[in-house]
A and B are shown apart, each in its own frame.
Chain A
Amino acid sequence: MNMKISWFNLFKREQKTTASLARERLQVIVAHQRAGRANGLDFLPRLQQELLGVIRKYVTVGDDAIRMNVERDGGLEVLELNITLPEAAGH
Chain B
Amino acid sequence: MAAIFQGDIVLSKIIVVTSGKGGVGKTTTSASFATGLAQRGHKTVVIDFDVGLRNLDLILGCERRVVFDFVNVINGEASLRQALIRDKRVEALSILAASQTRDKDALKPEGVERVLNELAQEFDYIVCDSPAGIEHGAMMAMYFADEALVVTNPEVSSVRDSDRVLGILSSKTRRAEKAQPRVKEHLVLTRYNPARVDKGEMLSVKDVQDILAIPLLGVIPESPSVLTSSNSGVPVISLDHSEAGHAYQDLVARFLGEQREHRFLTVEKKGLFGRLFGT
Report which A residues bind B (CB closer than 8 A).
4-5, 8, 12, 17-20, 22-23, 25-27, 29-30, 33-34, 37, 40, 42
Q: How far is the CB of B143 from the nearest CB of chain A, in Å?
A: 17
Chain B binding surface, main DSSP class: helix
- What is the CA–CA distance of A27 and B171 in the complex, to the nearest angstrom? 21
Extra 9 A-B pairs, beta carbons < 8 Å, given A4-B279, A34-B167, A37-B171: A17-B199, A19-B201, A22-B207, A23-B210, A26-B159, A26-B160, A33-B167, A37-B170, A42-B167
- Could you tell me if B211 and A23 are in contact, using CB atoms closer than 8 angstroms? yes
- Residues on A with C-beta less than 8 A from B199 are 17
* Interface: B119 (CB within 8 A): no
The answer for the CA separation of A25 and B156 in the assembled complex, in Å, is 8
Q: Which residues of B in the span 197-235 have a Cβ within 8 Å of any Cβ on A? A: 197, 199-204, 207, 210-212
- The winner among A8, A19, A33 for most chain B CB atoms within 10 A is A19
> What residues on B are CB-neighbors of A34 within 8 Å?
163, 167
For B197, the chain A residues whose CB sits under 8 A away are: 19
Q: Is the CB of B200 within 8 A of A8?
A: no
Chain A facing B: main interface SS: helix
Query: When the two chains form the complex, which single residue of A4, A8, A25, A33 contacts B164, counting CB atoms closer than 8 Å?
Result: A33
Instruction: Please name all residues of chain B whose beta carbon is closer than 8 Å to the beta carbon of A19 when the two chains form the complex.
Output: 197, 200-204, 207
User: Total contacts A to B, CB within 8 angstroms?
Assistant: 52
- The distance from the CB of B161 to the nearest CB of chain A, in whole angstroms, is 10
Do B279 and A5 touch across chains, with their CB atoms under 8 A apart?
yes
Q: Could you say which residues of chain B place their CB within 8 Å of the CB of A23? A: 203, 207, 210-211
A29 to B159, CA, bound (A): 10
Nearest-Cβ distance from residue B187 to partner chain A, whole angstroms = 13
Contact yes or no, A22 B156, CB < 8 A: yes
CB contacts (< 8 Å) of A27 on chain B: these are 211
User: Which residue on A lies nearest to B197, using beta carbons?
Assistant: A19
The 10 closest A-B pairs by CB, nearest first: A17-B200, A37-B167, A23-B207, A19-B200, A30-B163, A26-B211, A22-B156, A26-B159, A22-B203, A19-B203
How many residues of B are in contact with the other chain, CB < 8 A? Answer: 21
On chain A, the residues within 8 Å of B203 by CB distance are 19, 22-23, 26
Nearest residue in B to A27 (C-beta to C-beta)? B211
Query: What are 19 A-B residue pairs whose CB atoms fall within 8 Å in the complex?
Result: A4-B279, A5-B279, A8-B279, A18-B200, A18-B201, A19-B202, A19-B207, A22-B155, A22-B156, A22-B207, A26-B156, A26-B159, A26-B207, A27-B211, A30-B211, A33-B160, A34-B163, A37-B170, A37-B171
CA distance A37 to B167 in the complex (A): 7
Please, which residues of chain A bring their CB within 8 A of the CB of B160? Answer: 26, 29-30, 33
Asked if A20 and B200 make an inter-chain contact with CB atoms under 8 angstroms apart, the answer reads yes
Q: Which single residue of chain B is at the shortest CB-CB distance from A40? A: B171
Q: Using Cβ atoms and an 8 Å threshold, which residues of chain A touch B164?
A: 33
Chain B contacts for A22, CB-based, 8 A: 155-156, 203, 207
Q: In angstroms, how far is the closest chain B Cβ from the Cβ of A30?
A: 5
A-side contacts of B155, CB under 8 Å: 22
| Chain A residues closer than 8 Å to B163, beta-carbon distance | 29-30, 33-34
Contact with A along B152-177 (1 / 0, CB 8 A): 00011001100110010011000000
* C-alpha gap A18/B200 in the complex (Å): 6
